[in-house]
A and B are shown apart, each in its own frame.
Chain A
């Protein structure tokens, strides 16, 4: 294949990995990485590096399973393990997605709050707007605007440099795995894992490669797509954490609300930092709040075996539209509870992600190691070991957090 043909093939394939990876830079993700840097300085940056490696491993696995089987994750679990295990996997996925959607709406509420818009009005309106745009198939009209708004988080890269961080401590934090010794540190580790390797991203990437009808010959390029998406999200997450470590951590600021988190952008944006942060939260929150319910509804219909899609009428696909509506309504209701703390919703939902992630990645590993499912693309020894180590480390982090919380 010539270099030009190779580039064309790569561009044709690119998308699922990039989108699934970058979707981690959403309001819950930015908040979690901010807390990681603000509360723990450079010490826990290795978690971000390890999570990015885990993201590459499991997103590659999801893409590979979608390409080889032509099925989404939940559908494949049903085919191989039957309805009872599917119900368990679906409960874990929907639970995690609901938490993350609450996080997206909490991010939107925080952004609107900085502009003086009450969440009781702003969040339902935002939810209604994205739902109508998605369900009517007109979302692409605003998609690029939202992408542009959420791209302001790239500003963290410049902000981090301008804050003159301790690069030596950054390098040490990235490669020396300092174990978490307090409950808060353990929780930050778990939330960082949960936001980077988000369950909905796993279901989304597998479903999206099926949607694009990618084939085994595309796998080589899809791997590049996955690595690109994961590294980009890891790099942005790193600079968010470093910017916060160099500003908030050194001045002992704890993040209680969005304005606290926004201070990390002050070296770049000065007094406009809060506005910049709010714009990013709003754009990224709206973007994720549109795709997440859609991905959830598809997973629910996959479990039941229907092929519902956006073109269907409501009466022909009640499960699809029902699942979409219920998850949006519940998430809006949770965030609109008067006085509901937005930062804990944004942060703790990601810790919940890590807990609910465990059964899903166990299913993924077992499916990928099954030669009847994967044929010659079965997960090899190195992949089996890498996924096992990831699962064990995540489970150990969750267990440590529980022990430190209870004790």
Chain B
């Protein structure tokens, strides 16, 4: 995919790309973009293909980036015939399906947010995912409230510092050697796993070195660390529990615990469990 004109790196929003029309080599309407495929390698995933719903066909097909030229409204065009079938590959995510509107944890500012849009920047290798917008601006724009959106603030999280909470993107991020979780210190790791659903937190703890995982668990509220150990395969849990036992005592009773919405209000009703 290439852009025309602008010498500066250009940022394209995922939601602007999805729904865009494509023309064929002869300039006729060929279909619409239904999703964007990106390979989760390196610090910024590279867009490898577009999922296109061809005209008069119900099932989307994959158009590799070498098959698509032009970028921006009305500029997308196919340089050859579309192949049949084929979806994402093992190391790829569909950004609309797997990332847009999904919860992410910002490991830098230690918060959980939901993706309102995905920013794609044009680099020498092609389009790369650089950040996600989790602010009001993206939501209002997608609701068609463009005037309000212009007044709303943008709230971006760099892809390098985020971790997708669950699903395919979460699994592929954990497989990637450059994933944010690999650079976190135990304290940051604790913040991350405290916010994730138990199963995803278990995946994260399983994917980092046991010492770091044990150190992270040791900083959590004891109830939460016990919960997370239960979510791990028994042998791995035993190893981590052993590593935690070798650490100096001091797992704080007031350590990090997941956000509790009703517990404080309704603790008379089973909230004491954890």
Q: How far is the CB of B44 from chain A (nearest CB, A)?
A: 22
Indicate whether A223 reaches chain B with its CB closer than 8 angstroms: no
Are the C-beta atoms of A83 and B142 separated by less than 8 Å? Answer: yes
Q: Which of A164-172, A211-219, A247-255 contacts B (4 or more CB under 8 A)?
A: A211-219
Q: How far is the CB of A229 from chain B (nearest CB, A)?
A: 11
With contacts A83-B116, A309-B261 known, is A70 near B197, CB below 8 A? yes
- What's the Cα separation between A183 and B258 when bound, in Å? 49
Q: Which of B28-36, B96-104, B179-187 contacts A (4 or more CB under 8 A)?
A: B96-104
Indicate whether B27 reaches chain A with its CB closer than 8 angstroms: no
Are the C-beta atoms of A294 and B142 separated by less than 8 Å? Answer: no
Are the C-beta atoms of B102 and A211 separated by less than 8 Å? Answer: no
Indicate whether B143 reaches chain A with its CB closer than 8 angstroms: yes
Give the residue of B136, B230, B262, B266 whose beta carbon is less than 8 angstroms from that of A304. Answer: B136
Place the interface of chain B in its size category. Answer: 35 or more
Residues of A within 8 A of B261 (CB): 207, 211, 294, 298, 309-310
Are the C-beta atoms of B114 and A305 separated by less than 8 Å? Answer: yes
Q: Which residue of B lies closest to A77 (CB)?
A: B101
- What's the Cα separation between A208 and B230 when bound, in Å? 20
Give the residue of A80, A82, A211 whose beta carbon is less than 8 angstroms from that of B263. Answer: A211
Give the residue of A139, A213, A306 whose beta carbon is less than 8 angstroms from that of B265. Answer: A139
Indicate whether B233 reaches chain A with its CB closer than 8 angstroms: no
Indicate whether B267 reaches chain A with its CB closer than 8 angstroms: yes
| Proximity string of chain A (278-294) to chain B, C-beta cutoff 8 Å, 1 when within and 0 when not | 00000000000011001
Indicate whether B198 reaches chain A with its CB closer than 8 angstroms: yes
Indicate whether A95 reaches chain B with its CB closer than 8 angstroms: no
Residues of A within 8 A of B197 (CB): 69-71
Q: Which residue of A lies closest to B224 (CB)?
A: A213
Are the C-beta atoms of B111 and A307 separated by less than 8 Å? Answer: yes
Q: Which residue of B lies closest to A225 (CB)?
A: B270
Are the C-beta atoms of A213 and B227 separated by less than 8 Å? Answer: yes
| B contact patch SS | loop
Indicate whether B127 reaches chain A with its CB closer than 8 angstroms: no
Q: How far is the CB of B249 from chain A (nearest CB, A)?
A: 25
Are the C-beta atoms of B227 and A82 separated by less than 8 Å? Answer: no
Give the residue of B103, B116, B230, B270 whose beta carbon is less than 8 angstroms from that of A79. Answer: B103
Q: Which residue of A lies closest to B260 (CB)?
A: A211
| Proximity string of chain B (221-247) to chain A, C-beta cutoff 8 Å, 1 when within and 0 when not | 000000100110000000000000000
Within 8 A of B (CB), among A147-185: 147
Are the C-beta atoms of B198 and A211 separated by less than 8 Å? Answer: no
Indicate whether B252 reaches chain A with its CB closer than 8 angstroms: no
Q: Which residue of A lies closest to B138 (CB)?
A: A83
Are the C-beta atoms of B259 and A307 separated by less than 8 Å? Answer: yes
Q: How far is the CB of A309 from chain B (nearest CB, A)?
A: 5
Indicate whether A14 reaches chain B with its CB closer than 8 angstroms: yes
With contacts A82-B100, A143-B268, A307-B112 known, is A208 near B262, CB below 8 A? yes
Are the C-beta atoms of A137 and B266 separated by less than 8 Å? Answer: no
6 contacts between A and B (CB under 8 A): A69-B197, A82-B142, A139-B265, A212-B271, A213-B274, A305-B116
A binding-site residues for B, Cβ under 8 Å: 12-16, 18-19, 69-71, 75, 78-80, 82-84, 87, 134, 137, 139-140, 143-144, 147, 207-208, 211-213, 215, 290-291, 294, 298, 304-307, 309-311
* Known contacts A75-B103, A208-B262; 20 further A-B pairs (Cβ under 8 A): A18-B269, A70-B165, A70-B200, A71-B103, A83-B139, A137-B265, A139-B264, A140-B268, A211-B262, A212-B270, A215-B198, A215-B230, A298-B261, A304-B114, A305-B113, A305-B115, A305-B134, A309-B259, A309-B261, A310-B261
